């Protein structure tokens, strides 16, 4: 008779707090950070080969869904992680910025590949030399194109940032000044 093997279930670690018989207490920042970290909804803004690597990352071999990012959003109003992948022409810059501005707070940006991060090999008048000239970027993934393992590492870095961010950080004068530097209200 065949032995039944039950899969091991990994449970997310609870945030630091006080625990007793029948209760657990922690701060709201830690609970919200943990929930946000494990439920990112990425909006892929893919224009070239980095988009293909992202598709490979979403496939069954790498399975980005195990990090809570399985639900892709193709509407900026329903996404909280903008993933910019590939070459961004200067004519596309206003569209990318509009997509960013339509996203609700809190929102994070991941720049994937050499082209989105610095213009890549295309040092021409028509290519934007890094998306950080028009929108703030939280995590850069290097490579041309980056491997799926690098994409997963970038997602993990975003998750660390999301989990450690205070709920009220977006209301601080520093954050408002950073957005004002980009001309975003």
Is there a domain that residue 70 lies in?
A: yes
| Residue 2 domain flag | no
Q: What share of the chain is helix, strand, coil (3-state, %, to 5)?
A: 45, 15, 45
Find the domain containing 59 and state its range.
Answer: 27-181
Q: For residues 97 and 176, give the distance between their C-alpha atoms in angstroms, rounded to a whole number.
A: 17
φ, ψ of residue 82 to 5 degrees: the values are -95, 120
pLDDT of residue 64: 81
Q: With contact defined as beta carbons under 8 Å apart, do 101 and 109 qualify? A: no
Tell me whether residue 68 is exposed, middle or buried, using C-beta atoms within 10 angstroms of its C-beta: 0 to 12, 13 to 18, 19 or more.
Answer: middle
For the whole model, what pTM was predicted? 0.83
Q: Domain count for the chain, please give it.
A: 1
Residue 11 in any domain: the answer is no
% of the chain at pLDDT higher than 90: 40
| 61 in a structural domain | yes
Summarised one tens digit per residue, pLDDT across range 66-87 is: 887 778 888 999 999 999 999 9
For residue 9, being part of any structural domain is answered with no
The CATH number for 36's domain is: 3.40.50.12280
Within a domain: residue 132? yes
Q: What digits encode the pLDDT tens for the residues 111-160?
A: 999 999 998 888 889 999 999 999 999 999 999 889 989 999 999 999 99
For the chain, give the mean pLDDT: 87
The answer as to whether 36 is a domain residue is yes
Range in 18-32, 89-103, 137-151 the model is least confident about: 18-32
Q: Would 162 be classed as within a structural domain? A: yes
Beta strand segments in 8-113, E: 18-20, 23-25, 42-46, 81-85, 108-112
């Amino acid at each position: 008779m065949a032995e039944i093997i039950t899969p091991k279930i990994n449970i997310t670690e609870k945030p630091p707090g006080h625990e007793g018989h029948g209760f657990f207490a922690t701060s709201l920042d830690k609970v919200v950070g943990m929930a946000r970290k494990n439920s990112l909804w990425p909006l892929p803004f893919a224009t070239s080969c980095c988009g293909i690597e992202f598709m490979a990352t979403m496939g069954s071999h790498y399975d980005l869904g195990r990090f809570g990012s399985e639900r892709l959003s193709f509407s900026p109003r329903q996404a909280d992680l903008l993933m910019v992948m590939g070459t961004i022409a200067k004519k596309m810059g206003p569209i990318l910025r509009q997509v960013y501005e339509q996203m609700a707070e809190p929102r994070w940006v991941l720049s994937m590949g050499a082209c989105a991060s610095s213009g890549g090999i295309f040092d021409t008048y028509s290519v934007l030399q890094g998306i950080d000239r028009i929108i703030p970027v939280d995590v850069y993934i290097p490579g041309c194109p980056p491997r799926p393992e690098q994409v997963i590492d970038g997602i993990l870095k975003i998750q660390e940032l999301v989990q450690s961010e205070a709920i009220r950080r977006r209301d601080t004068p520093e954050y408002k000044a950073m957005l004002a530097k980009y001309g975003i209200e």
